[in-house]
Structure 1
Amino acid sequence: MEKHDHILSVEKKTDNRFLNMYDLQYENKVGGQGIYHIASRGASIEELKLKTHKNKPDGVIIYALYGPKRDKVVMVRQYRFSVDDYVYEFPAGLVDAGETYGQAGARELKEETGLDFTPVKADEMYSKPLFTTIGMTDESCATVYGYASGKISKEGLEDNEDLEVIIADRKEVRRILKEENVSINCGYLLMHFLCHTTEDPFYFLR
């Protein structure tokens, strides 16, 4: 049987509320050993996906269209410490215990933007949790799709959330993709937003 890399031991290095660091002692396919560092939303070693082998979503990303013609998309322009700059993203957040993807999406959209959310049905292959930055973390996020309505409000924001709600049409989306910092999941879905030519803006979910 062909040899492959495998984990020898795991050590938790931090004890934080939302994100922790772990050191993995590993052996590679030719017998060499080393330490690999990962970040995880898991609060304990037992909760890491390398232990459970279950892809339970840590968070949810909300792709919401807005307006009577459904020709605008809801984004946030949020300050991120990792780049000391603002990044255009979709509203997103962690999934609380017992919540469905849709429930988490509606709650997070309301908290971040003040808008209400009406989800559309999507096959599991489009909404299942996908890994975000797998080289550094086991975090995965599910995506929910739907329509936003109501008025923008910042009342639900936490003190450490520095963000601006953006309602963008196609002209503004093109400018953002050309000129601004954009998260990769947001960028790919904005490409769908730009390219659909049918009356159904969620044609790609069918």
Structure 2
Amino acid sequence: MVDRVKGVEKVTDNPFLNLYNFDVEKRNGKTGKYYVASRKKDPTQLKAATHKNTSDGVIIYSVYGEKKDKIVLIKQFRYPINAYVYEFPAGLVEPGEEMAQAGIREIYEETGLVFEPKVTEGAYTRPFFTTVGMTDESCGTIYGYCSGTPTNEHEEESEDIEIVLADREECKRILKEENVAIMCAYMLMHFIHTKGDPLAFLDEQ
């Protein structure tokens, strides 16, 4: 295994996100600096050190309604863009927590809905990297079905969330006109072009 990270310095000490300076060796043998944001609290926990891709967070792709014709979205205010953005419900996976458990918890906290995960394995549930040029964060996706009545009463004080149950026409509008997280955008494109149960593809693994 190639190891081109020669040293790591932790620059900040924040609760949820920190900056690290990497001493790196470039492909031509020269050395330099690289700056990485990570949710890890210690340099030994960084994926550059462990080479293990454990999921930092979970994203929930959930279908709603008897006809399975709506998808559960949130419209959330995000400080980095100082604006609202459409996303899937998501959150951090707590230590010792399974991704499916995290998905059930996060859906309830952010939307008040009851989430029933669909059992999947392999490539569809393993964690993938988000913005790997900037951070070592990776997230897994959990798929399933939601029921119940949406409510904001369980969201945290720091959150500003509008719950959106979007049909295919509304998803088309959102993609054309709104701020959308990229992982959400790709799955909305999938949702728009499916017929019947949007999660049927999981049965073809």
Indicate whether the TM-score tops 0.5: yes
Aligned residue for 1:202? 199
1:167: which partner in 2? 165
Instruction: Report the Cα offset of residue 11 of structure 1.
Output: 0.3
Alignment of 1:14-163 (within 5 A): 14-163=12-161
In structure 1, distance between residues paired with 2:58 and 2:96: 14
In structure 2, the gaps of 5 or more residues are none
Give the Å deviation of 1:5.
7.6
Give the whole-Å Cα distance in 1 for the aligned partners of 2:154 and 2:177: 29
Local SS of the residue matching 2:145: strand
1:117-159 CA distances to partner (integer Å, 9 max, x unpaired)? 0011222200110000000000000100000111111121111
Contact 2:69 2:197 in 1 (8 A): no
Secondary structure of 1:10's partner? strand
C-alpha displacement of 1:203: 2.4
What amino acid is aligned across from residue 74 of structure 1 in structure 2? V
CA distance in 2, matches of 1:156, 1:141: 23
Q: Report if the CA contact (8 A) 1:196-1:203 is conserved.
A: no
- Aligned residue for 2:7? 9
8 Å CA contact 1:5–1:28 kept in 2: the answer is no
Deviation at 1:32, TM superposition (A): 2.0
Unmatched segments (≥5 aa) in structure 1: none
Moved more, 148-157 or 54-63: 148-157
Indicate conservation of the 8 Å contact 1:88/1:183, yes or no: yes
- Report Cα offsets for 1:101-130 as digits up to 9, x if no partner: 110000000000000000112222001100
Instruction: Give TM-score, length-normalised by structure 1.
Output: 0.95
Structure 1 residues 78-123: Cα deviation after superposition (integer angstroms, max 9, x where no partner): 1111111111000000001121111000000000000000011222
Q: Aligned to 2:153, what secondary structure does the other structure show?
A: coil
Q: Runs of at least 4 residues of structure 1 off by over 6 A?
A: none
TM-score (norm 2): 0.95
